[in-house]
Amino acid sequence: MITLTDIAYVRSGAADLSGAVKFATDIVGLELVEQSELGVAHLRADHRHHCLALVEGPSGVISSGFSVANDDALAQAEVELNAAGITTTRGSAEEARSRRVREYIAFDDPFGNRLELVTQQETVTRPVAFSRTSGITEFGHLCLDAPDVHEAFRFWSTHFNARVSDWIGDGACLMRIDPVHHKLAVFQGDGPGLCHMNFQVATIDDVFRNWHYLVEHGVEITMGPGRHPQSTAVFLYFLGPEGFTYEYSFGVRRIDDEAAWVPRTFDPAEPGSIDMWLGEVKRTTTQAQLVAKD
Ligand SMILES: [Fe+2]
């Protein structure tokens, strides 16, 4: 069993890097970290050096990163995955540097989502210099697509410490790796890809202020503001360039009594099962997975 200690980052390809960076800063509010690598923009939201890396090249998600405790844990993870027939690749020193991690391994989940396990993701103590006051407090969760969310849960729960918090029928599996209701979700989709990347904001007012800001700036709102009954989070999904969906949310449930929590199942066809406020429910745009070069 591989223990994921946290989510680390999303790495995404952008054909129009400057356009994607402009959106991530001016609209989403992230800090653009001083450029240290040609063709890569690191974006910061919290203590992490970055949680989003936009890489000049074909549009599509490159990988999703998760932390493990240390190099020994990483080596053990490599052994376990290989024993299960999952091919892993060690990142080079240069690739690790670009991710601001000490070491990492990359592999595909059974559906083709590229995952990376990392050690010692760099922490930055300087306060985040947000590009605008969107109220972001942290990188909250990431959501991947898979054709079968039950199979996806089997993968995550067999190899990793992911526990299901709630099911939305056959449509979604919301999983936790710590007390936060979900740091990882898998949505039903045709193929592999990044369904959305979530940022937590400090207050419910931030969600609504951001909503007005996005509307004023002509950003396509996918869904919300609304409230998810599973996590109790007030959400707002919106579409960025190159098919990358962002989410702001506030008020995610914590599951502090691990033993007492019983996962629930919600029928997506039942009114209120996705948005308790009964707003229009729409499927978010998924950014398709790029096929790894190696
Ligand atoms: Fe989400």
Q: How far is the CA of 248 from the centre of ligand 1 (A)?
A: 8
Q: What Å distances lie between residue 50 and 53, 122, 140, 184, 226, CA to CA?
A: 7, 8, 13, 18, 28
Tell me what pLDDT residue 224 has. 97
The first and second tokens of residue 32, run together, are 């653009």
What 3 state SS string does 100-111 have?
CCCEEEEEECCC
What amino acid is encoded at 110 in this protein?
P
Alpha carbon of 42 to ligand 1 centroid (Å)? 22
Across the chain, which distance is largest between two alpha carbons, in Å? 52
pLDDT tens for the chain, residues 1 to 294? 999 999 999 999 999 999 999 999 999 999 999 998 999 999 999 999 999 999 999 999 999 999 999 999 999 999 999 999 999 999 999 999 999 999 999 999 999 999 999 999 999 999 999 999 999 999 999 999 999 999 999 999 999 999 999 999 999 999 999 999 999 999 999 999 999 999 999 999 999 999 999 999 999 999 999 999 999 999 999 999 999 999 999 999 999 999 999 999 999 999 999 999 999 999 999 999 998 665
Separation of alpha carbons 285 and 173, rounded Å: 17
Q: Could you tell me how many residues make up the chain?
A: 294
Q: What is the pLDDT of residue 133?
A: 97
The pLDDT score that the predictor gives to residue 79 is: 98
- What pLDDT is attached to residue 83? 98
Calpha distance 27→16 (Å, rounded): 16
pLDDT value of residue 293: 62
Per DSSP, 162 falls in state -
Ligand 1 centroid distance, CA of 95 (Å) = 28
Write down the pTM of the prediction. 0.97
Instruction: Report CA(143)–ligand 1 centroid distance (Å).
Output: 7
Each as own residue / partner, the long-range contacts of residues 71-77 (CB below 8 Å, 24 or more positions apart, any chain) are: 71/102, 71/103, 71/119, 73/2, 73/3, 73/119, 74/103, 74/104, 74/105, 74/117, 74/118, 74/119, 76/2, 77/2, 77/105, 77/117
CB-based burial, 4-21: b 16+ in 10 Å, e otherwise: bbbbbbbbbbbeebeebb
pLDDT at 80: 98
pLDDT of residue 244: 98
State the Cα angle at 65 between 64 and 70, rounded to 5°. 165
Distance 200 CA to ligand 1 centre (A): 10
| 123: DSSP letter | B
Give me ligand 1 centre to Cα 124, in Å: 25
CA of 92 to the centre of ligand 1 (A): 31
* CA dihedral of residues 96, 45, 182, 221 (deg, nearest 10): -120
Strands 221-227 and 234-239: antiparallel
Could you tell me the distance, in angstroms and rounded to a whole number, from the CA of residue 148 to the centre of ligand 1?
18
Q: How many Å lie between the centroid of ligand 1 and the Cα of residue 198?
A: 6
Taking the centre of ligand 1 as the mean of its atom positions, its distance from the CA of residue 3, in whole angstroms, is 22
Look at the block and give the residue holding tokens 């190696």: 294
* CB-count exposure of residue 218 (10 Å: 0-12, 13-18, 19+): exposed
C-alpha of residue 4 to centroid of ligand 1, in Å: 19
- From the number of C-beta atoms within 10 Å of its C-beta (0-12, 13-18, 19+), residue 126 rates as exposed
Query: Left (φ > 0), alpha (ψ -120 to 50) or beta: where does 183 sit?
Result: alpha
Distance 109 CA to ligand 1 centre (A): 20
- The pLDDT score that the predictor gives to residue 294 is 52
Among residues 230, 212, 234, the alpha carbon closest in space to that of 221 is found at 212
